[in-house]
Amino acid sequence: MKYIIGVDLGGTTVSIGLFNSDLKLINSIVLSTEAHKGVDYILSKISSSVLNLIKSRKISKKDVLGIGFGSPGPLDTKKGIIHFCPNLKGWKNVPLVKIVSSKTGISTYLENDANAAAYGEWRMGSGKGVCNMLFATLGTGIGGGLILNGELYHGKDDAAGELGHVILFPDGIKCGCGSKGCIEMYASATGIVRRAKEALNTSTILTSKDVYLAALKKNKIALNIMEETGRFLGIVFSSIINLLNLDMIVIGGNVSNAGEMLLKPIRKEIIRTAMYPAKNIKVIKAKLGPNAGMIGAACLVLDRINK
């Protein structure tokens, strides 16, 4: 039996999964990233955890096909280098593939974290079997990944899928990317909370879940914010649908836990604003939850080996 390791590297936690060659999850662990301790510490910690994980199952390194990393970017998948990580201090031009493969003795592969999650949902989750799909992850920010003609789409510089920085309002709120009016500033968890505080004229600590729970209780302000969030996303999705003629949009991330409260206004706006045949496009919730990136990273290792 052969095995694969999938790693989802985040600013707060690192998820590591051991899979067999049928992509069945055998065991997984979650580590604190401890980002403040720097590149060498983090990659040494992940590498030793990978080796301990396979050792605990009495698996030989020669039976591990590879380690797949889903990481924040921007990055270079071919060279295996992370150019920059906003949430990981000091991560600039890090040769992750070279470092981890050297520390573990196992072939290592690198992918953007949102792309890895998109690939996981396409291979093993809600998007299984479709040809053209957008995956949107709605959390603190907004990420995206594209499956086009049955393949993960990277773009020229591995920079495709930056969904959060599609402009919704050209003269809108300034985004961390430097532009104004990005959808991330309005429909992410952070954007939902900001809009709720503005509507309530309060500085009270809120979460997007609080807004959702208030909407469930028929609070008018919360209901309006959730409806508006879906409408904003629908406007952006409509443009992407018109451009790419997608089969499906899969919504993941913590904000997606609002379910139909969010999905219904998205579908309604798509039908209203996208060109034919918008009514045939499925907009559904992701299935794999927080494991999507880890699963997708493992899937990519297997598929790259088999090409």
Binned at pLDDT 50, 70 and 90, residue 145 comes out as very high
Q: pLDDT tens, 223-254? A: 999 999 999 999 999 999 999 999 999 999 99
Task: Please tell me the CATH code under which domain 3-116+291-306 is placed.
Answer: 3.30.420.40
The answer for 273, left when phi > 0, alpha when psi is -120 to 50, beta otherwise, is: alpha
Candidates 3.30.420.40, 3.20.20.140, 3.30.1540.20, 3.40.50.2300; CATH matching 129-286: 3.30.420.40
Quote the pTM value: 0.91
Binned at pLDDT 50, 70 and 90, residue 86 comes out as confident
CB 108 within 8 A of CB 46: no
**For a pLDDT cut of 90, what percent of the chain falls above it?**
84
Q: Summarize the confidence of residues 37-49 as an average pLDDT.
A: 95
| Amino acid 275: pLDDT | 86
Cα–Cα distance, 117 to 101 (Å, whole number):
22
Query: Across all residues in the chain, what is the average pLDDT?
Result: 93
In order, the DSSP letters of the chain are --EEEEEEE-SSEEEEEEEETT--EEEEEEEE--GGG-HHHHHHHHHHHHHHHHHHTT--GGGEEEEEEEE-SSEETTTTEEEE-TTSTT-EEE-HHHHHHHHHSS-EEEEEHHHHHHHHHHHHSTTTT-SSEEEEEESSSEEEEEEETTEE---TTS-TT-GGGSBS-TTSPBPTTS-BSBTHHHHSHHHHHHHHHHHHT------HHHHHHHHHTT-HHHHHHHHHHHHHHHHHHHHHHHHH--SEEEEESGGGGGTHHHHHHHHHHHHHHSPTTGGG-EEEE-SSGGGHHHHHHHHHHHHHHH-
What residue ranges of the chain are covered by domains with CATH 3.30.420.40? 3-116+291-306, 129-286
User: Which range among 160-169, 229-238, 277-286 shows the weakest confidence by mean pLDDT?
Assistant: 277-286
